Amino acid sequence: MNLPLSAETLLIEGADAPAFAHAQFSSAVKSLAVDRWQFSAWLDPRGRVLALFHLARLADDRHLLLLRGGSAAVMAEALRRFVFRSKVRITALPPRHLACGPALAQGSLASEPAGDDDLSLGCDSHSLRIGSVGDDAWRLQQLRAGWPWLPDSCLGELLPPAISLQRLQAVVVDKGCYPGQEIVARLHFRGGHKRHLHRVTLSQAANAGDVLRQEGRDIGRVLDVIANGTEFEALATLNDELVAEADAGNTLILDDDVAITLLSSWPA
């Protein structure tokens, strides 16, 4: 499965934009300085992840969202239902390209000179550039870092622990209410969720969104997969019960003779 190399982005602007974003999204939005970005998410009241994105603060009253899956137009329309009388304007932007750029500090932003609206998001070992030219050189680096991309079939289906959002600081428990906050807090303090994020290799080609099965049981979901030589490297959310059967580096056989080897695992 090839992820689109175009960027789905939207702008949230206006005097009330910071307060609106802080109330709707699950990260510590108020702590985000101008010319910085953070991971964030928009959850439904059940705590399910509707959208995962890079949230960049371009100015005091202007935020850019780069979605890691999903449609900017659909999200913008859904967000507008919560504007009420707030001084906020939400705009889905035309798709642009994604490309790998030079190393920049994690969380930093770099803009091109006036007249060029290219923007680079610092990702430590590289940068993710929104611009006029695209490539996929960033994908394997981000997959190996455990940065999930959500296929359409997973939107509104996964809880934050299943894709390691607390590790990415995309969800926090020490801020005021936001959609799904009670579920996030319950899972944080009481635990109990039985799926988490893993980097694996698969012996066969797969598509993002594919369900993984063992003896007919749904034991996980593929989120992203890249052909790497003769193997297929993937991010997947897997049942803890399955993972407990194998130490890192061991291989399990799933239905349809799919062999899966665990390489890395991440907590909630």
Strand order in the sheet with 36-43: 36-43, 49-59, 62-67, 9-13, 89-92
Burial class (CB in 10 A: 0-12, 13-18, 19+), 50: buried
Q: Is the dihedral of CA 202, 4, 62, 176 positive or negative?
A: negative
Indicate the pTM of the whole model: 0.94
pLDDT of residue 1: 43
pLDDT of residue 229: 81
Query: Which residues of the chain have a pLDDT value below 50?
Result: 1-2, 114-116
Query: Mind listing the domains of the chain with CATH numbers?
Result: 6-98+135-188 (3.30.1360.120), 194-266 (2.40.30.110)
If we measure between CA atoms, which residue out of 63, 52, 50 comes closest to residue 93? Answer: 63
Share of the chain above pLDDT 70, in %: 95
Condensed to tens digits (0 to 9), the pLDDT of residues 184-208 reads: 999 888 887 899 999 999 999 999 9
pLDDT of residue 114: 43
